[in-house]
Amino acid sequence: MELQFAEGLTGEVIYDPLTVHGGVTSTGPISIVVSNLSTSDYTNLGFYLRAASNVGDVDNPANYAPATDYQDLLTWGSETTYGLQPSGGIIIAFTDSLGNPVNQYMRRGIGSAYNNKIVYGTLSSGASFTLTIELEVPPTVFARRLFIDIMAE
């Protein structure tokens, strides 16, 4: 499977972490093209968060441990979903393999682990789709860098 930026569609495979900027006045989502370049279909494809495997360079370290960032994002997404705060968390959006639109906050119980990943379905050999990811920061939260992994498997 290959991930690439949607803008330009250069075909360049993404090997390094991507940066998603967000805030009370968010700079907007990023779009990524997910492609299946293998000769067989990829079944049960989905997306979930996990604690970061990369927390920046030595000269500019993370503010908190990766588990703290992961838990904060799940808390924000859960609180937003249940109406406890106006907005916050990671929003993931795409059209699934059956043509249904998906626009979901990643939160506890949905997208927080492999076993409750947000399911795309089957990605046929040679097929592609666009995944959109947006970070919303609750208005009560001070600015900081967050490090998490968004897994596609």
Residue 93 lies in a domain: yes
Mean predicted confidence (pLDDT) in 16-44: 73
The pLDDT-based confidence of 4 (bands split at 50, 70, 90) is: very low
Residue 18 lies in a domain: no
Mean predicted confidence (pLDDT) in 93-111: 95
Residue 91 lies in a domain: yes
Q: Could you give the residue ranges of the DSSP H alpha helices within the chain?
A: 66-81
Residue 86 is predicted with a pLDDT of: 82
Q: How many domains is the chain built from?
A: 1
Alpha carbon distance 41, 81 (integer Å): 33
**Angle subtended at Cα 94 by Cα 42 and Cα 82, rounded to the nearest 5 degrees:** 120
Residue 19 lies in a domain: no
Residue 9 is predicted with a pLDDT of: 45
Residue 69 domain boundaries: 2-9+43-152
As a whole number of Å, the CA-based R_g of the chain is: 16
Residue 25 lies in a domain: no
**Does position 29 have pLDDT exceeding 80, yes or no?**
yes
More confident residue, 92 or 38: 92
Mean predicted confidence (pLDDT) in 138-147: 82
The pLDDT-based confidence of 20 (bands split at 50, 70, 90) is: low
Residue 27 lies in a domain: no
The pLDDT-based confidence of 5 (bands split at 50, 70, 90) is: very low
Residue 21 lies in a domain: no
Alpha carbon distance 19, 10 (integer Å): 18
**Does position 57 have pLDDT exceeding 90, yes or no?**
no
Residue 61 lies in a domain: yes
**Does position 45 have pLDDT exceeding 50, yes or no?**
yes
Mean predicted confidence (pLDDT) in 130-141: 88
pTM of the model: 0.82
